[in-house]
Amino acid sequence: VWGARRLRAASPPSPAVGASQVTVRDALNQALDEELERDERVFLLGEEVAQYDGAYKISRGLWKKYGDKRVIDTPISEMGFAGIAVGAAMAGLRPVCEFMTFNFSMQAIDQVINSAAKTCYMSAGSIAVPIVFRGPNGASAGVAAQHSQCFAAWYGHCPGLKVVSPWSSEDAKGLLKASIRDDNPVVLLENELLYGVPFEMSEQAQSKDFVVPIGKAKIEKQGTHVTLVSHSRPVGHCLEAAAVLAKEGVECEVINLRTIRPMDIETVEASVVKTNHLVTVEGGWPQFGVGAEICARIMEGPAFNYLDAPAVRVTGADVPMPYAKILEDNCIPQVKDIIFAVKKTLNI
């Protein structure tokens, strides 16, 4: 259908001595394998997920292991196969529906929102829709405007959906397993540029029982001067910026949201109470974005009284993504942009 694109991955975090390194791709593959094995109601469908092993090799080896009834290649019709998956979920199965990228989920957004997200509410709780919509989200490298949207704000806007956005391999595996086991429709927004990036994973994180609870953020780095809140690939940029700023005496607290909806605003509030400053970082557009929601929730809640400066958002540029690399780089938040925003809010 579409060839897998060349990845331009970020540098992985430095591993601890003796730590097991697992790529995000392999972590997702592990999660799918374990859940297919654990529950016979789970099945995977999407374009090229079976015989080709997935456009990004997330489902590598699963068709050979589980066969045609559990791993199903579909035609190029997102509205069609998303509808089939929603109907299967209503009938008691637990489908994992892969969009080759979330840009193509726009073809199926009626199925995701009107069919999946609203059915439990409209049926007074009598019809559950345990389905996972997953695939790469946001900007990749050199794929231009129609293939570069971040859908965190789009789907995070809709009641009835849970929306998760992993950064590390631990996030990816734990959140995918939790999503498959959840009785609600879940949108899982991965990042293509992270697929080949290795992260250290503990022995516990690689066990079959490991899940990351939906709706709980993770503090990736403790700090006292400013709170950085992000999700997906920009979490890594925040940690890089924090390392640079630490050399200048600025200690950043970095929060990995993990879940967009329901949002763990309590963890963000507790951090802002401690640091008195807030910077949000995301790859999506600024208007009505994830950062805008965080800023509004902080302003409306008790943590507002602890802010010593206005909250600052770092976002993608408010334009359709250009194709040229130099323009693309200027449309995606970079480490230098985060450093600039931190110094702005701290007035240094």
Contact 179, 43 (CB under 8 A): no
CATH code of domain 21-206: 3.40.50.970
How far is residue 238's CA from residue 244's CA, in Å, rounded to a whole number?
A: 10
3-state secondary structure (DSSP) of residue 20: strand
Backbone phi and psi for residue 234, each to the nearest 5 degrees, phi listed first: -60, -15
pLDDT of residue 19: 64
Q: Given this chain, do its domains 21-206 and 218-346 carry the same CATH topology? A: yes
Backbone phi and psi for residue 248, each to the nearest 5 degrees, phi listed first: -105, 10
Neighbour tally for 307: CB within 10 Å: 18
* CATH number, domain 218-346, options 3.40.50.2020, 3.40.50.920, 1.20.120.530, 1.20.1050.10: 3.40.50.920
Nearest to 133 by CA among 171, 83, 170, 92: 83
**Bridge partners (DSSP) listed for residue 279:** 228, 312
pLDDT of residue 9: 39
pLDDT of residue 74: 97
Per-residue pLDDT of the chain (348 residues; tens, 9 = 90+): 443 333 333 444 454 444 699 999 999 999 999 999 999 999 999 999 999 999 999 999 999 999 999 999 999 999 999 999 999 999 999 999 999 999 999 999 999 999 999 999 999 999 999 999 999 999 999 999 999 999 999 999 999 999 999 999 999 999 999 999 999 999 999 999 999 999 999 999 999 999 999 999 999 999 999 999 999 999 999 999 999 999 999 999 999 999 999 999 999 999 999 999 999 999 999 999 999 999 999 999 999 999 999 999 999 999 999 999 999 999 999 999 999 999 999 999
3-state secondary structure (DSSP) of residue 96: strand
pLDDT of residue 3: 39
Catalytic residues, which ones?
78, 147
Lookup result for tokens 């086991």: 181
Q: Which long-range contacts link 51-54 to residues 24+ away (Cβ below 8 Å)?
A: 54/98
- Where in the chain are the domains? 21-206, 218-346
